[in-house]
Amino acid sequence: QKEVEQDPGPLSVPEGAIVSLNCTYSNSAFQYFMWYRQYSRKGPELLMYTYSSGNKEDGRFTAQVDKSSKYISLFIRDSQPSDSATYLCVIAEGGSEKLVFGKGTKLTVNP
Amino acid sequence: GAVVSQHPSWVICKSGTSVKIECRSLDFQATTMFWYRQFPKQSLMLMATSNEGSKATYEQGVEKDKFLINHASLTLSTLTVTSAHPEDSSFYICSARRSGGGETQYFGPGTRLLVL
């Protein structure tokens, strides 16, 4: 079993839709949870960072972590064409320098 | 903010030549920088971890003599691809972690290398 499993997509939605992106992980030692957005031919950009179970909201983005189920989600409200990108769930152990990446979900928001 | 820059953004070179890529943290100090490689439609693969003033730690399967990493200051790390070959063509991305800033890494925009 891979350490991080991410819904592979691709995902195509109309503008204004609510988008749900999901990952599961296997190692309960993981304590830090991040979502990065990567546009084509660009480096990943940090969207959300959290280390506790529950919801964290930032504008149209909500990150949700359920440590008991080892499940993390990113919700995008009122999706825009500019949200079209690949979204990476990324997790880390406490005290570890290494990040563990999901394979990414490619999202297309159609005008 | 936490801005990381890379230079050059793209490079084309002949097989057998060496290419140097710079990674700079512009507005923060980074004791640790990371180098990744990304092939099309794949996720990032960690190549090495670089701590300022010490030797880089390479991931299994990454040749340290081929991918030379220097982390000379708290804001600059360089990756030199020596004797590049077409199979080294890829997207190279660096990231930096703030001193005392937890596990979050801030990524550069990437350098696209094409070896002919």
| pLDDT per position as a tens digit, A43-98 | 999 999 998 899 999 999 999 999 999 999 999 999 999 999 999 999 988 777 78
**Backbone phi, then psi, for A75, in 5-degree steps?**
-110, 135
Judge whether residue B8 has pLDDT over 90.
Answer: yes
pLDDT-derived band at A1 (thresholds 50, 70, 90) equals: low
| β partners of residue B13 | B115
Task: Report the pLDDT averaged over residues B17-33.
Answer: 93
Predicted pLDDT of residue B57? 93
Other residues' Cβ atoms within 10 Å of the Cβ of residue B55: 12
Average pLDDT over residues B23-52: 91
How far lies A98's CA from each of A51, A57, B49, B93, in Å? 16, 25, 8, 15
Mutation target to probe the A interface, by most A beta carbons within 10 A, among B6, B43, B89, B113 is B43
Distance (Å) from the C-alpha of residue B14 to the closest C-alpha of chain A? 22
Tokens of B62: 């990454």
Output the pLDDT for position B101: 66
Whole-angstrom Cα distance, residue B24 to residue B96? 8
For residue B63, the model assigns a pLDDT of 94
Radius of gyration of the CA atoms of chain B, in A: 13
Select the residue of A32, A96, A103 nearest B43 (Cβ to Cβ): A103
More confident residue, B40 or A12: A12
pLDDT at B99: 76
Q: B81 to chain A nearest CA, in Å? A: 19
The residue ranking higher by pLDDT, B25 or B100, is B25
Q: Contact at 8 Å (CB) between A107 and A6?
A: no
Q: What percent of chain B has pLDDT over 70?
A: 97
Residues of chain A in Cβ contact (below 8 Å) with chain B? 32, 34, 36, 41-46, 49, 88, 92, 94, 96-99, 101-104
When CB atoms are compared, the residue of B43, B91, B106 closest to A46 is B106
Q: Which residues of B touch A99 (CB under 8 A)?
A: 46, 103, 105
User: B34 with B50: CB under 8 angstroms?
Assistant: yes
Closest alpha carbon to A35 in A98, A90, A99: A90
The residue-averaged pLDDT of B27-54 equals: 90
Interface mutation vs chain A, best among B50, B103, B104, most A CBs within 10 Å: B103
Query: Chain A contacts of B91, Cβ < 8 Å?
Result: 41
